[in-house]
Structure 1
Amino acid sequence: MAPAREPLPVRVDEAPPTGPGTGQLTPHHAARIDLPTPTGPLAALRAEARPRADDEPWDAVAVLVPGYSGSKEDFAPLIDPIAHAGIGVLALDLPGQYESPPLPGELDHRPGPLGLLVADVVRTEAAAGRTVLLLGHSFGGLVARAAVLSGAPARGLTLMDSGPGELPMGPRRSRLDILEPVLRRRGLDAVVALREEAGDWEAADPAVAAFLRHRLARSSPAALLGMGDALRGEPDRVPELVAALRGRRLATLVVCGMNDDAWPVTTQRTMADRLEAEFAAVPRAAHSPNVENPQGLLDVLLPTWRTWLREDTLEP
């Protein structure tokens, strides 16, 4: 019998989303909460499982970790579909991202320290009787990997548009190289202005573009510098992860957009082979299938996660 659930953290804002939205502004029924952690609060979105009449929910939660300069809102299009599939959702802002306060220094925002923090969140959920499905997107995949390596008691690990180590040479890495000295010397406002001039948000819905500018402006410079530096220097930790996965029989999925422009799809497929993990590429998507083709991503995630949970219930 699963232990009784601990009370959920106090809700900060239970107001439903207003008006239509796309991408990060997709309406959903999650509550904005603050999660208490040893290093300070983490801003999060929590949605309880909403099972269909013919299907009982699993006592499970998907913990979703965003990438560099991202936030919990990156998972907005996934929240209600996952909850309606009988799995709760807990989407995080890492320290220094959007609504979560930063940690003291740049080094604190690397995958190792952040992984310890995410592992603590996973332990809290598991102690409340929930089976945890941990997903990390891009830089968040490096953090989720570090969480597993530090002993996070997850049932399954999903690495989405992430890689075995540092970001390879290409447009995304070149952007980090360009923006780092601007951020150090001229500050965050100059970075926002530079990205505006580059037309980074021109293709987005105007309301989404306004949100992305606002989110970046609220980010912590120390967090951006620490995460950016880690993206250019993270070692290949796949051998360590293989040992951890085998030792704990942890189910693993590697999924990416078919046109990912960060880590090449071939690199991610090879990583999946090394991990003996399932692999899937989402069509009509690049580096962020969660907002570019959320239904295509859900078509991969939900059947895979249901299989993991069914297998979990069959184990003695």
Structure 2
Amino acid sequence: MSRPPSFTPPPGVRAYRLATARGEFAVFDAAAAAAPRGTAMLLPGFTGSKEDFVALHGPLAEAGYRTVAVDGRGQYESEGPEHDETAYAQDELARDVLAQARALDTPVHLVGHSLGGQIARAAVLLDPSPFVSLTLMSSGPAQISPSQQQRVKLLRDALGVMDMARVWDAIQAMDPPEETDAGDLDDGLDDRDDLRRRWLANSPAQLIATGRQLCTEPDRVAELAAVRLPKHVLSGERDDTWPIPLLDEMAGRLDAHRTVVRDAEHSPNTDQPLETARALAEFWDHTNTG
């Protein structure tokens, strides 16, 4: 489970509901502090939320980039059906992303973390026109690793027979699936209430449907490589959801820029936000001038 440094928007970040042709979505929106160089849209991963990018807004604003982090349908503060899994088919979520980008009414640098990367890829494959670049952050070419598939299956099975509160209590005894860098709670930051509140706000159907996607996602790298869009593969130096050599290979197949963030694991955006922001801004700067 991703563990953001705060659930409170930092100074300069506006929380509101972005109105789109496919409904409203909760966002954190930070304007560029320097001369504007572009706009980025940030999609969180499985069990995550827009708060996972909270430490990126400041440094990216200083670099001249507006950043809009989005809760997807049925994710934390964006509503979605509780029991209708068809509402969370990957194609539906990808069309949501296209609607969000169009609502921003400006070309968008698209960033997807983990599951968000696979949804971002699906959106680009449907229609790349709203986007000026794509960054896949800790997001691999196909299904997650076998060990993570087992953990996701346990979660999906639990959600089939227990309510969200009971599942939350049960998973405290183990690291949640896919987002495996939550750390412990003995470092002075007791965020269990915030994490629990976020968990309870998620749609069970969304978690079940997207968990299934993570375990069955096909390799669509060749399709993505054919799209004429600058691409960036960014990860930490350790990751047990998609092994680093697999991400290296994917970057080569995509002819993508590759960044490995030192001392980071599956969530470089929370593990090393300054280095992650610097890598994103440098890639976008190059895209703007290329």
TM-score by length of 1: 0.83
Matches within 5 A, 1:64-213: 64-103=42-81, 105-125=84-104, 128=105, 130-152=106-128, 153-170=130-147, 172-198=148-174, 203-204=184-185, 205-213=188-196
**How many Å separate the matches in 2 of 1:310 and 1:28?**
30
Mind listing any 5+ residue stretches in structure 2 that lack a counterpart? 177-181
Q: Post-superposition shift, 1:197?
A: 2.9
Q: Secondary structure at the match of 1:61?
A: strand
**How many Å separate the matches in 2 of 1:38 and 1:26?**
26
**Conserved? CA contact 2:9–2:28, under 8 Å:** no
**How many Å separate the matches in 1 of 2:241 and 2:174?**
18
Partner of 1:15: none
Structure showing greater relative contact order (alpha-carbon pairs closer than 8 Å, 6 or more residues apart) = 2
Q: How many residues align?
A: 278
1:243 aligns with 2:222: no
Q: Post-superposition shift, 1:167?
A: 0.9
Mind listing any 5+ residue stretches in structure 1 that lack a counterpart? 1-20, 312-316
Q: Deviations over 1:105-125 (max 9, x none)?
A: 213223221111101211232
**How many Å separate the matches in 1 of 2:69 and 2:21?**
18
**1:289 alignment partner, one of 261, 268, 276:** 268
Partner of 2:179: none
**How many Å separate the matches in 1 of 2:7 and 2:245?**
28
TM-score by length of 2: 0.90
Q: Secondary structure at the match of 2:56?
A: helix
Give the stretch that moved more between structures: 279-288 or 203-212.
203-212
Q: Post-superposition shift, 1:24?
A: 5.1
Q: Deviations over 1:272-301 (max 9, x none)?
A: 111110111111111001111112212311
Q: Secondary structure at the match of 1:22?
A: coil
**Conserved? CA contact 2:20–2:103, under 8 Å:** no
**Conserved? CA contact 1:23–1:292, under 8 Å:** no
Q: Deviations over 1:84-108 (max 9, x none)?
A: 1111011000011100001472132
**How many Å separate the matches in 2 of 1:124 and 1:27?**
23
**How many Å separate the matches in 2 of 1:207 and 1:25?**
14
Instruction: Name the CA shift for 1:26/1:62 in 2 (closer, same or farther; >3 Å).
Output: same
Q: Percent identity?
A: 35
**How many Å separate the matches in 1 of 2:287 and 2:53?**
21
Larger Rg belongs to: 1
Instruction: Name the CA shift for 1:190/1:280 in 2 (closer, same or farther; >3 Å).
Output: same
Q: Deviations over 1:237-289 (max 9, x none)?
A: 111111123xxxx1110000101121011111111111110111111111001
Give the stretch that moved more between structures: 63-72 or 177-186.
177-186
Amino acid at match of 1:265: I
Q: Secondary structure at the match of 1:155?
A: strand
**2:14 alignment partner, one of 23, 27, 31:** 31
CA RMSD in angstroms comes to: 1.8
**How many Å separate the matches in 1 of 2:216 and 2:6?**
30
**How many Å separate the matches in 2 of 1:236 and 1:268?**
12
**How many Å separate the matches in 1 of 2:183 and 2:222?**
41
Q: Post-superposition shift, 1:202?
A: 6.4
**Conserved? CA contact 2:42–2:69, under 8 Å:** yes
**2:254 alignment partner, one of 242, 256, 275:** 275
